[in-house]
Amino acid sequence: MEMTEAILLTIFTAATPLLLAAMGELVTERSGVLNLGVEGMMIMGAVAGFAFAQMTGNPYIGALAGIIVGALFSLLFGFLILTLVANQVATGLALTILGLGLSGLWGEAFVGIPGIKLQPIIIPYLSELPLVGKLLFSQDIIFYASIFLIFAVMWFLFRSRPGLALRSVGDNHHSAHSLGINVIRTRYLAVMFGGACSGLAGAYLSLVYVPQWVEGMTAGRGWIALALVVFASWRPLRVALGAYLFGAITIAQLHIQAIDINAFSDLPQPLFYLAGLTKSTPAQFLSMLPYIATIVVLVLISRNRRLTLINTPATLGQGFVPDR
């Protein structure tokens, strides 16, 4: 029971930044904007969260700083692709490169400094329940925010008028404009929301997942979040399931290295051989598992063109210039 609880806790921790970043990108892409700068916004949120937590001694201020810096960083992207109508793909890649470089420069003074961890909120009595107690009732506030975000985004996109307007902008920005919807403002707000979620995901890494600052600590999670949106066919609940699946894959490669081969001695010979082969797999290959899974999923999805086109925003990646 304790081992199962520990594994599930680490899966939840690994999945939370992916869930936050992917959910923000889902809203952004639903508006018709393709932001490939998720990695850059996450790393800026990570360094901002750690820096402000250190300067104030309050990790909650650090988390808030991550949100604000992520949103402000996304505004740069929004200005370039919405106001100046720059290419969204090239601008997003530039944003990631800028974020990685700028965060390394800003965070140089914080390398090697012990972090201030965001402590869990322990709910009396409920946190003492077997298995689910620590999993659901003894978590930090960002974890609870990520769970709330799943249902909030579902309600916003499919049950609210602003959500309907946002989806109409993503499906046909010219028709939405002719109906009186402010396309540019809608997309600016969606881009800022995505940036805020990515910034919070980065702050989670430096305040909870690994409470310290390490240059490049996002380690490609922004790209996995982008793949999750496609994997989920732009549906919030599928994004959540995908995030926890990828979190499980990330944690699996850590536990495989700790396998005790003798524990499998009673298994049939083929299974015992498989366990031994898994144990002897190089750690570098196991570290590649989340990214290999990302590539495999994208290849499988791309083979089913109908599934890809069902929920894909029709104007995704297309610039818009309002009629004058």
DSSP-derived secondary structure for 52-99: HHHHHS-HHHHHHHHHHHHHHHHHHHHIIIIIS---HHHHHHHHHHHH
DSSP state of 35: -
User: Sign of the CA dihedral 33, 36, 42, 47?
Assistant: negative
Residue count of the chain, please give it: 324
Confidence (pTM): 0.90
d(CA 218, CA 205): 8
**Is the Cβ–Cβ distance between 78 and 191 less than 8 Å?**
yes
Direct distance between the N- and C-terminal alpha carbons of the chain, in angstroms, rounded to an integer: 65
pLDDT of residue 324: 52
Dihedral (C-alpha) 24, 117, 243, 21: value to the nearest 10 degrees? 20
**Residue 241 CB contacts under 8 Å (≥ 6 apart), including other chains:** 232
3-state helix/strand/coil string of 115-161: CCCCCCEECCCHHHCCCHHHHHHEECHHHHHHHHHHHHHHHHHHHCH
- pLDDT per residue, tens digit, the chain (324 aa), is 677 788 888 889 999 999 999 999 999 999 999 999 999 999 999 999 999 999 999 999 999 999 999 999 999 999 999 999 999 999 999 999 999 999 999 999 999 899 899 999 988 888 888 778 888 888 999 999 999 999 999 999 999 999 999 999 999 999 999 999 999 999 999 999 999 999 999 999 999 998 999 999 998 999 999 999 988 889 999 899 989 988 888 887 766 656 554 555 555 555 444 455 455 556 666 677 777 777 787 777 767 667 666 778 999 999 998 875
Report how many helices (DSSP H) and strands (DSSP E) the chain contains, helices first.
15, 2
| CATH number corresponding to 2-256+288-310 | 1.10.3470
Cα distances (angstroms) measured from residue 229 to each of 87, 108, 240, 290: 20, 32, 10, 15
Cα distances (angstroms) measured from residue 30 to each of 22, 164, 261: 12, 10, 47
pLDDT of residue 8: 86
Phi, psi of 121 (to 5 degrees): -95, 110
**Is the Cβ–Cβ distance between 227 and 25 less than 8 Å?**
no
Q: Report domain extents, the chain.
A: 2-256+288-310
